[in-house]
Amino acid sequence: MPWWGSGRRITILASAVTVVAILAGCSAGDGIARPPASASPPSAPAASTAASGAPAPLATLRAGGDGDGSGTGRIDVVALERTTPDTVTARLRISAERGEVDLGQFRPPAIAGTVAYNYTASSAGFFLLDEPRLSLYFAMKRDAEKTGAACLCTQLSGKLTVTSEPAQVWIVYRVPVETASVAVGLMSVGVTAPLPIGPRGQAAAPDEPGPAAVAAAFPNTRGLATSLSGAAEKVAETTDKVEIALDTDVLFDFDKASLTSKAQATLRSTAERIRRQAAGTVRIVGHTDDVGDDTYNMRLSRRRAQAVEQALRASGAGRDLTFQVEGRGEREPKEQGSSEAARAVNRRVEVSYPRPVAAAPATPAVPRPEESPSVPATTGATAAGLRSMEGVTADLVELRRLSPTTLIATFDFRNEGSREIAMRDGAMDRDAQRSSGTAHIAAFEFFWLSLADAAGNRYYVLRTSGRPVHHCLCSELDKLPPGGRVRTFALMTSPPPDVRTVDVGLFAFEPMRGVPIA
């Protein structure tokens, strides 16, 4: 079972609240995104917020409706309330717009590296995304170590139909007091735009825990990591750290510690990152491959680290910062083995520093519904499938920047052939062998795409950080029958704001060239 459970595979998403809305709503069954104000009405009054007098939602997600006869569920985010100084209660309303909606699809994820929840019946599959902190918040648990511990959330089971009363859901999350807004997401469905966290405003449900029970519960938080790979540097940002691996084959000639002329552009980029982000100690560590004497390699690695430090200081990056420099020779290889490819990876200088938390707006802008940006059916960028994906067409629906750190990529895959396609085969394609930054991510996840800018930098899908397993913040893959269509999303590392267009690469598909970022 994937880490987020077994939710539906369609990824249609809607949001009605901010100018950075990720996707707008869609009518049941047509797969075309529209602003919530113009969405088709539900097929029964029970699912209509206007008819029932229920409050207008902050945002809406839709699950199901992928053409296989399943029901379409509407998930309204009613409120995000700061119920204690460090916890937030999400209030959701789930209703059926077409057919039957299995409430089991909202059960909790088996988060890698944490104790799993009770899988039988709950709403813990919903998470909050704190993008400035690169953190995912899942429902709090009543026990820290017990496998199958209950969550602090509504227990869900059974099915909803269009004549059923909507399910009213509450979920308690541990969220830092400084966080003013979060996005709400459900794996295999999508993620809303950032939504404001307000004060407590609604009456508690009869089964909601009181302050004492909340204080005794345990958080379930998972950090995220962004990653980009350039010709001379690889950059990874996690919740609390930025790491830059510089290629010494570009910075230095063989067996030398004097910077080459090619090194200047790379180090200017590194210095700019440090000037923009760093507030603590900057560590610079030199590494070599395993060729030569260990004592000599230790000296060479330190001399190279010192050369990098001097260049960064000369560029103005060292103003008001402390640098810590050391050499570790061949003792900490990045790749095991004595092949030339492994040795090339191990020859590096690593620059790292604490990651600051980006400031989030205290109150995200809330436009009127008619001002919410609509999402086109596609951007016009289309790619034909190759090899195992032959007969499948990929339409890029949206490539939208969410912040200086992340963006969302959304695709429609259409099977125009006569055979069933296993979408996960794209992850096993030969193109995967030529891509870096995607290691240790499961094949059933939609991680297999990258963006490339004019400078040759590649940007990859956000993944969970830490051990033992990495997962992407993206859709689950499934089989696509002849004539079938599925919408799939991934949150990705964003190029810098001055990068306006990128090439979009999908394993086993033709490349999409010069695609603008919204």
What is the per-residue pLDDT across 186-241, written as a single tens digit (0 to 9) for each? 876 778 888 999 998 888 888 899 989 999 998 988 888 888 888 788 998 888 89
pTM for the whole structure: 0.78
Nearest CA among 370, 392, 396 for reference residue 382: 396
Instruction: Give the pair of three-digit tokens for residue 234.
Output: 């690889």
pLDDT tens, residue by residue, 20-65: 333 233 333 333 222 222 223 333 333 344 445 667 899 998 877 5
User: Does residue 468 have a cis peptide bond before it, meaning omega lies within 30 degrees of 0?
Assistant: yes
Q: Note the pLDDT tens digit of each residue in 83-96.
A: 999 999 999 999 99
d(CA 250, CA 55): 59
Higher pLDDT, 72 or 256: 256
Per DSSP bridges, beta strands 198-199 and 72-84 are parallel
Contact in structure between 244 and 159 (CB atoms under 8 Å): no
Q: Among residues 462, 422, 424, which one has the least CA distance to residue 443?
A: 424
Confidence of residue 280 (pLDDT cuts 50, 70, 90): confident
Contact indicator for 508, 432 with CB cutoff of 8 Å: no
Q: Mean pLDDT throughout 245-267?
A: 90
Complete domains list, the chain, with CATH: 13-223 (no CATH), 241-354 (3.30.1330.60), 401-516 (2.60.40)
